[in-house]
Structure 1
């Protein structure tokens, strides 16, 4: 019982170490990894190298699979380069695990020093990553150590003795071990130990190593079960490539084992060396076929039709919540999508001003429902982001996203109410705007639309010059709104009948546009509030 408990605790330590490394690296370099993986990977060799590099940094092919499946699910990356990245990830894991074995004591020591002395800095977070890497390597050693007494049991010896080189059976056993240990590398290390102890032959070791790789593919596919079909295709393609590798090596098992047995290396070194060489050769050979594999995976896992009438979030990937920088980037994209819907609603509103289009009532109501649904999704998504691990910059960004989402949701409600007012005047009371009044509303609408676009741009870029430009546009809008209100009063003095009939509606619409303009320009204050307080207060007082 104690041996089993030791094995389970070692596996738990490996899972925890992997979590620390993945979250630590992505908190420090999350946005940079996103750029590396989502850009400049149109060429397969570049995608392959990117997979090696990112996996070497994150130290887990499963972590790389999580990133890549997330990007594919959100439409940020095609499936073909994603499969090339996953092939590179298999090579990166094999190579860097070998290197880090030499550095594990140093990583643990330096990690503790930097994390305790500079906890809130980037160096401190990198120290946390180093601790995680050390824990992973320690866990691998503990798994092998805990499994060693089990392998000495008579029943287990009989089990290993029954493995006589049947590649399919050996691969199945290796895959089961990888699933149990939650690590293909732990299975490879255990296989190396068993080979060195003479408990299994070299052909059996080869089968176990190949099976361990298949087991890691099964793990990745199971972890992607909550993804959309687009995301699951990445894990499926990676698993199929590992199964193909098994089929390709089957005819050459005996000559390969004889060649390996002839090497003047220790059995442990032969097994680990085969693991690195097998993954490298397999992935390089498979790289030209990623396009064909992508088409095959698309056929196996087609997209599910979305027959819902209400918009659904496209970018709020739940698997990215453990990585705040990625989660916030996803929320930004979804919030900008809400802004696009608001822009569409504004364009429809102008059409209602200019002509009697009662059919737009239902369309605008549907769009407002979409805004409400996406706003709720963004709000609930951000509520799941662990606030305690956010840096100061990420905390401010979290608040900015929430504020803009709230403002856009309020804007949608205001636009819908404006539509109801206009339709009531045009249909129930059969009143219409004067030509001058309609031109004034159209000009104010054009400024409002431009300020919405600029406000979304300021929110996305955080550029201070653009923020100051937005505040100047807000002041121009306020001045124009005052002039138009005075011009309307002048028409009332001139006894223009249409202006008299629509006077209340005209002034209410101008007031509603003024409120919309304030909501759209709020992002400028968020950008300028740090380091430019005096200028901000001056601009704000001018805008009132």
Structure 2
């Protein structure tokens, strides 16, 4: 098992380092092979311009994918932190979670983006797994918005819409107008890319071989199921697969039963994005991805049993409602109907689905869970001292989370494992969430009837929260510095590495003592923190001087260690914030001439 985990880690690290190069290579191979194969086909089947057809499909797909990504990112930027706030505030029951999942995914056009937001809230202790499952279920319905947009007859307006978006981006100064421009540009690119693909597919539809291949999908529905799953998994966009499907069906190239089978497979393939995102992640991330996979897999297989009657129902709607005038919208109805019925059925089995997910994905996260739900507003009026004690426990756990974040920095500094970076960014989100919740709660406590000691403690806790949050910010800076170094393949010099290891050891101990001092209110422990903070300052000064000497002696280049001074500055600031925290305990400074810390040089 250890060897398997080690091999998995090596593969994950390799993919993390070279993912961009791998994709560029694959695309380059596709273009070159496609070009030469098109030349061969032009000799055999001269009635079709194969080069134009091939590049129209490839280019149209690229424009479509970039358009949907640009539109989603721009909508998220327009909404700011409101999306996360909406999810956090309105998902206390699964049914509300479903509604929120529909709305958020419909806005940002990405079920994966909604899932990512959900995982962050689960990790922060602001959402339970059943609530998260509700959002994921709703996200599936939200993705149908794209197919309905594509069913609208506005392809001829794609270029003017793109022009309007581009003008807003390049000729306006306000940020929100630029973001709106991104939405319009992406929206127009959706239709332009789809139109490019549709024109090329119409050419292919003339071929008997192409007709025979699509006919086989209709005759063998499970082949369509696998084709839909495989295509969506490859391009990692269910919207792209549905767009292609709408083009094929609208040109008469495919029977409805084959298109519906591919739709079901598309819902399985779309879960690959969440699975890939969860690899090497937390237990919460893996369980969320597993819930997504199980929900879609069970639903798709269940609907395959009723493929023929469901297809007849969609065909009836096509005749009675659409009057056979909009084949693209027929696919949209089929997609929406599947997701709505599947959601209605699975809603009653959410608890069973959660149990199955926990059974399949066992274990607990190594991260500390902070129960911010313990901050009960009723307690403030009934027993403000107890409310203050609850807040103190949250602050203590916040300090432990900050410790854990710094431990990750220590590992990531010398080991380019993307897992450490991803965990660090998730912990930063946790700290920000705890900071806001605890700060707001303490402000409410300040309005209660507290004695002098209680008021003093309340003020000290507010300051401590701010310091722990700032420690998290400095850790984030360190993660980002080392991420840049790893990406640029810039290694620390042996001397700098030794200096950092020694400095890290002091900071790690200082953080542990800081949390202990705040917890126990021990002046003796606080004094030890102050002594070590002095050691940190002296080491930082010494290391800066050594760094400059190495550059002057050409033992190290400025390019190689250009961020080293910034790294030292952030470490120094972590020590400063530890000092700030214990000052509230002792209410005075302790300085000793002799430092009570020993080094082995």
Q: Is TM > 0.5 for Structure 1 vs Structure 2?
A: yes
- Residue 54 of structure 1 deviates from its aligned partner by 0.8
**1:369-380 paired onto structure 2 within 5 Å:** 377-380=475-478
Could you tell me which residue of structure 1 aligns to residue 110 of structure 2? 60
Q: Do structure 1's residue 249 and structure 2's residue 303 form an aligned pair? A: yes
Could you tell me which residue of structure 2 aligns to residue 140 of structure 1? 194
Larger radius of gyration: 1
In 1, Cα distance between equivalents of 2:176 and 2:87: 22
In 1, Cα distance between equivalents of 2:309 and 2:511: 76
**2:166 counterpart (103, 106, 112):** 112
**1:52-91 paired onto structure 2 within 5 Å:** 52-91=102-141
In 2, Cα distance between equivalents of 1:120 and 1:140: 31
Structure 2, gaps ≥5 residues long: 1-34, 36-50, 369-399, 410-416, 437-467, 485-502, 531-579, 597-601
- Residue 21 of structure 1 deviates from its aligned partner by 3.2
In 2, Cα distance between equivalents of 1:414 and 1:34: 30
- Residue 304 of structure 1 deviates from its aligned partner by 5.8
**1:278 counterpart (329, 338, 341):** 338
For the aligned residue pairs, the C-alpha RMSD in angstroms reads 4.9
CA contact (8 A) 2:523 2:586 kept: no
Structure 1, gaps ≥5 residues long: 337-369, 387-405, 420-438, 449-472, 483-505, 513-544
Per-residue CA distance 1:318-371 (angstroms, 9 max, x = gap): 79999xx999745646999xxxxxxxxxxxxxxxxxxxxxxxxxxxxxxxxx99
**1:313 counterpart (382, 405, 413):** 405
- Residue 113 of structure 1 deviates from its aligned partner by 3.2
Could you tell me which residue of structure 2 aligns to residue 174 of structure 1? 228
CA contact (8 A) 1:91 1:276 kept: yes
- Residue 177 of structure 1 deviates from its aligned partner by 2.6
Could you tell me which residue of structure 1 aligns to residue 183 of structure 2? 129
**2:245 counterpart (184, 191, 201):** 191
Could you tell me which residue of structure 2 aligns to residue 298 of structure 1? 358
Q: Do structure 1's residue 202 and structure 2's residue 262 form an aligned pair? A: no
Structure showing greater relative contact order (alpha-carbon pairs closer than 8 Å, 6 or more residues apart): 1
CA contact (8 A) 2:261 2:304 kept: no
In 2, Cα distance between equivalents of 1:151 and 1:17: 26
In 1, Cα distance between equivalents of 2:220 and 2:522: 84
Q: Equivalent residue of 1:198, what SS?
A: coil
In 2, Cα distance between equivalents of 1:146 and 1:119: 39
Check 1:74–1:162 CA distance in 2 against 1; reply closer, same or farther (3 A cut): same
Check 1:440–1:45 CA distance in 2 against 1; reply closer, same or farther (3 A cut): closer
Could you tell me which residue of structure 2 aligns to residue 47 of structure 1? 97
- Residue 297 of structure 1 deviates from its aligned partner by 1.0
Q: Which moved more, 1:300-309 or 1:34-43?
A: 300-309
CA contact (8 A) 2:214 2:253 kept: yes
Q: How many residues are matched?
A: 387
In 2, Cα distance between equivalents of 1:123 and 1:167: 47
Q: Equivalent residue of 1:163, what SS?
A: helix
In 2, Cα distance between equivalents of 1:197 and 1:321: 47
**1:86-101 paired onto structure 2 within 5 Å:** 86-99=136-149
